[in-house]
Each structure stands twice: as C-alpha cells, then as structure tokens.
Amino acid sequence: MQKNKKFENMSDFFYLSIFKLPDEILKIKRLLRRFYFI
C-alpha cells in the first residue's frame, strides 16, 4: 500500500513538472507519445 501511494505521489509530481515545462518540451513529449502509441 505504501509503495502504491508513493508511486501515485511521484506521478502527480511528474505531471505537475510537465505542466511547468516549456511548450517545446511538451511538444517533444507529445511526439514521444505518438511513437509509443505506434
């Protein structure tokens, strides 16, 4: 249970950091997502 909670907190922090990143990095992450979906 504790590990799951820690993982959730890490993911939340990760998403928050993404929102703070510049648009260019966001575009790169979107491109990476496309590759993962393919």
CA atoms within 13 A on the CB side of 3: 0
Whether pTM > 0.85 for this model: the answer is: no
Residues in Cβ contact with 18 at an 8 Å cutoff, skipping those fewer than 6 apart: 26, 29
pLDDT confidence bin for 38, thresholds 50/70/90: low
Mean pLDDT of the chain: 73
